[in-house]
Structure 1
Amino acid sequence: MNKTTYLWIMALALILPFIQPTLAANTKETITNNAIQRVRIDFTMPNGYVRHLLLAFTQDGSATDGFDYGYDGRNIDDFPDDLNWMIEDERFVIQGVGAFNETKQYPLGMFLTNSGEIQISLNSLENFQSEIDVYIYDSVNNTSTRLQDTNFEALLSSGTYLDQFYIAFEDKTNQNGAALSINENTFSDASINYILNSKQLYIKTKENFNSITLNNINGQKIKTIPVSPTQEIKIPLYNISETYLIVSIHNQNKSSSKVIIRP
């Protein structure tokens, strides 16, 4: 081995320990920057079964809002009740899209054979470098429910619900122009009562209402409950601890409220 070759080997031996950590750091940063970001959603059916949904963001834009082979997973199940991503009028349980954009919203299709209470909840978020907000936007009732704060719950009749529910990442209330402004006319015949024996809220009117809001005595909102348009409903209040509740019912033109006392 000549002197020049020996000097080159010595130089590489001194430089490599500094190069390798840099290459590893750059590789790790590339993997992190290109990691798929995931939003996992759970849908609880009226019968109590749970459907898991996945929305995945590709930071390099390799997927789109349309159908992308290898990114989108079709629904191959035949459940009597279900919630799916809607892509080009077809049903999916996995949807891959482009880079995360908080202004976007993604449509859901709900298919119910059974009437009853449904729930949509946030299961987990993966690979987001900073906190994001996840909402269920109800375009019919013009409400946004932040899933980090509370699960979305509704009492719905059997049927197909399209163009109503969306996953969004900012409060879409009043942004999409989907709902009319509410006139403060009241239901002249509304009956709002609490049934002590069954611990149920009982509401009956002569006109349809499609939303119920529960507030505490200080006016702070506890829960909004969208319902299929109805004139009569019973709702259990097992998980609410307040003794005094302000119960409000709404449709697009009217609203009525009453304070109820729960012993």
Structure 2
Amino acid sequence: MNKQTYLCLMLLFTSTLMSANPFSKNTATAMAYSDIQRVRIDFTMPTGYIKHLLLGFTPNNAASDGVDYGYDALSLDNFPNDLNWIIEDENYVIQGVGAFQDNKQYPLSMFISNAGDISIALDTLENFDSDIDVFLFDALYNTYTLLNDLDFQENVDQGTHLDRYFIAFKNNTNGSVYNSSSDVQLSINENDTQETSVSFLRKSKEIYITSNQNISKLEVYDLLGKRLFKQENIQAKTWRLSTPFIKQNYGIVRVYNNQGITNKKLLFH
């Protein structure tokens, strides 16, 4: 499926010029603009389209967590599937806030007309002296996904999803575990009931599988049922598979072990 990218004309954050005259090019304004720290987020809809969101941290707390004229951009489009920052009960595609604080969380509003798989990913970080951790907090399951290493993927029902998803910069719960050596974040509660976990590692472009039983066989299919890959006699509890052979956006990973078969639909990009 071809992916169409929705671009906001203000995505470069030019509206953050700190002057009564938005076209001012004085030195102080240029320096303030270059000092803004940006977190760019990509939302992949169930239809495969991508929308970009921008969160900007302003020096000297020039903006706030509320609505700030010149720093926040309203979401003027009416997409059937959408993700936005939510500020004072309104939807925004760009949110400008004060100086970066890792204890802050920023709420998102999600609207889904086509139930299916969505993805929330970290695109880029700009103007940070060192990389920061960016999490997707799912308040429904009390889990944190570290977006620096792994896209958040979920099958979402049709409807409006408020007070569920947040962008965060610190893991504030003991309900989830992130293992930096394996680049995989799992919910403890989920791990108690789900014996086999299948994830896609965005940075390394690998399928990552972990199980409490030896994996005997692995297969990858496209959505039409065509088998793209098969590996037998694995006999390991963890397995990584590089995916240069996968050209599709979506696929089905089938994992075999002594407990049975686990099927997982993944988004590859």
Normalising by structure 2, what TM-score? 0.58
The CA RMSD measured in Å over matched residues stands at 3.9
Residues 58 and 184 of structure 1, relative CA distance in 2, 3 Å threshold? closer
| Contact persistence 2:45–2:82 (CA under 8 A) | yes
| Aligned-partner Cα distance in 2 for 1:131–1:64 | 23
Residues 195 and 147 of structure 1, relative CA distance in 2, 3 Å threshold? closer
Residues 184 and 74 of structure 1, relative CA distance in 2, 3 Å threshold? closer
| Aligned-partner Cα distance in 1 for 2:167–2:32 | 25
Task: Quote the residue 1:87 is aligned against.
Answer: 87
Q: What is the one-letter code of the residue matched to 1:238?
A: G
Normalising by structure 1, what TM-score? 0.59
| Contact persistence 2:220–2:252 (CA under 8 A) | no
Task: Quote the residue 1:165 is aligned against.
Answer: 165
| Aligned-partner Cα distance in 2 for 1:185–1:81 | 32
Q: Does 1:155 align with 2:174?
A: no
Residues 77 and 220 of structure 1, relative CA distance in 2, 3 Å threshold? same
Residues 113 and 97 of structure 1, relative CA distance in 2, 3 Å threshold? same
Specify which of 231, 237, 246 is matched with residue 218 of structure 1.
237
Aligned residues: 185
Residues 185 and 50 of structure 1, relative CA distance in 2, 3 Å threshold? closer
| Aligned-partner Cα distance in 2 for 1:115–1:41 | 21
Identity of aligned pairs, percent?
A: 47
Task: Quote the residue 2:127 is aligned against.
Answer: 127
| Aligned-partner Cα distance in 2 for 1:155–1:79 | 18
Task: Quote the residue 2:261 is aligned against.
Answer: 260
| Contact persistence 1:111–1:160 (CA under 8 A) | yes
| Aligned-partner Cα distance in 1 for 2:124–2:158 | 28
Query: By how many angstroms is 1:195 displaced?
Result: 11
| Aligned-partner Cα distance in 2 for 1:80–1:34 | 35
| Contact persistence 2:65–2:96 (CA under 8 A) | yes
| Contact persistence 2:74–2:91 (CA under 8 A) | yes
Q: What is the one-letter code of the residue matched to 2:74?
A: R
Q: Does 1:109 align with 2:128?
A: no
Query: By how many angstroms is 1:133 displaced?
Result: 0.6
| Aligned-partner Cα distance in 2 for 1:55–1:198 | 40
Q: Which has the larger radius of gyration?
A: 1
Superimposed CA distance per residue, residues 90-142 of structure 1 (whole angstroms, 9 cap, x where no aligned partner): 10000000000011110000001111110111111100001101110001111
Q: What is the one-letter code of the residue matched to 1:111?
A: F
Query: By how many angstroms is 1:174 displaced?
Result: 4.0
Query: By how many angstroms is 1:59 displaced?
Result: 1.9
Residues 145 and 182 of structure 1, relative CA distance in 2, 3 Å threshold? closer
Superimposed CA distance per residue, residues 148-201 of structure 1 (whole angstroms, 9 cap, x where no aligned partner): 1111110111100001000011123348xxxxx9599979xxxxxx9999489x
Q: What is the one-letter code of the residue matched to 2:251?
A: Y
Task: Quote the residue 1:238 is aligned against.
Answer: 251
Q: Secondary structure at the match of 1:124?
A: strand
| Aligned-partner Cα distance in 2 for 1:244–1:183 | 19
Query: By how many angstroms is 1:60 displaced?
Result: 1.0
Q: Does 1:55 align with 2:55?
A: yes
| Aligned-partner Cα distance in 2 for 1:124–1:259 | 39
Structure 2 unmatched ranges of 5 or more:
1-26, 176-187, 195-218, 228-234, 242-248, 264-269
| Aligned-partner Cα distance in 1 for 2:33–2:250 | 46
Residues 65 and 261 of structure 1, relative CA distance in 2, 3 Å threshold? closer
Query: By how many angstroms is 1:238 displaced?
Result: 3.2
Residues 35 and 78 of structure 1, relative CA distance in 2, 3 Å threshold? same
Residues 183 and 160 of structure 1, relative CA distance in 2, 3 Å threshold? closer
Task: Quote the residue 1:141 is aligned against.
Answer: 141
Q: Secondary structure at the match of 1:60?
A: helix
Superimposed CA distance per residue, residues 19-50 of structure 1 (whole angstroms, 9 cap, x where no aligned partner): xxxxxxxx99x948970000000101111111
Query: By how many angstroms is 1:260 displaced?
Result: 2.8
Within a 5 Å distance, the mapping from 1:10-89 to structure 2 comes to: 31=31, 35-89=35-89
